[in-house]
Chain A
Amino acid sequence: SQTIHQWPATLVQPVGSPLSLECTVEGTSNPNLYWYRQAAGRGLQLLFYSVGIGQISSEVPQNLSASRPQDRQFILSSKKLLLSDSGFYLCAWSVTVINEQFFGPGTRLTVL
């Protein structure tokens, strides 16, 4: 069966520090991968998606970036965090674009 992992689970970082969040998927090949941010426990905002290694599309302009160095690894990064980057970050995968997405456990990021 497929599983999706995210780490760290929680992170507290000062403003201006770098960020690296990691997501890995097991049990499937060539998944579509997604990064979402959830603010205040409600709506989800799609940040990035990837259909293959090295293929990243951004949905919103921001100081975050994403990379996919391996088929089942998706990384969210920032060179300098802002206060507004605080939130709950969720990684997800799907077999194809029309299939349901399966979410990881999330990373709670607090920027102070």
Chain B
Amino acid sequence: AQSVAQPEDQVNVAEGNPLTVKCTYSVSGNPYLFWYVQYPNRGLQFLLKYITGDNLVKGSYGFEAEFNKSQTSFHLKKPSALVSDSALYFCAVRDMRSGAGSYQLTFGKGTKLSVIP
């Protein structure tokens, strides 16, 4: 079974400060990991993914995430937060070991990021 946890329901950060949104996962094999952002009443937008390779993944809008296998984490980061980054952020995981019949991408419950001017 695969699962993902976002331990913080809400994160508040001042504009210009670095931000981190936390994500931990559990899979049997190796993980495919994704981050999405959702603005109010909108669909999810893909930010970045980790499949294999470098542990530091760079994505859209200046976001990056670091894959840490020993800590089973994939935290989302940005060096300098913008007010426009305020949104709901979702981490998602799929187990590479899942069979061909398994299409389940498991999402976390989301973290609401508020960037304060």
* A/B pair count, beta carbons within 8 Å: 54
CB-based nearest A residue for B48: A100
Contacts of A27-50 to chain B: CB distance below 8 A? 32, 34, 41-44, 46, 49
For A51, the chain B residues whose CB sits under 8 A away are: 103
A contact set with B: CB distance below 8 Å: 6, 32, 34, 41-44, 46, 49, 51, 57, 59, 88, 90, 92, 97-98, 100-106, 108
Q: Contact partner of A57 among B40, B90, B103, B107, CB < 8 A?
A: B103
Is the beta-carbon distance between A42 and B51 smaller than 8 angstroms?
no
- Contacts A43-B109, A43-B110 given; indicate if A108 touches B41 (C-beta within 8 A): yes
What bracket does the count of chain B residues touching chain A fall in? 20 to 34
Is the beta-carbon distance between B46 and A59 smaller than 8 angstroms?
no
- Contacts A90-B43, A108-B41 given; indicate if A97 touches B110 (C-beta within 8 A): no
Q: Can you list 30 A-B pairs, Cβ within 8 angstroms, ordered by A? A: A32-B103, A34-B103, A42-B109, A42-B110, A43-B107, A43-B108, A43-B109, A44-B90, A46-B104, A46-B105, A57-B103, A59-B104, A90-B44, A92-B43, A92-B44, A97-B102, A97-B103, A98-B94, A98-B96, A100-B34, A100-B46, A100-B49, A101-B34, A101-B46, A102-B46, A103-B36, A103-B44, A103-B45, A103-B46, A104-B43
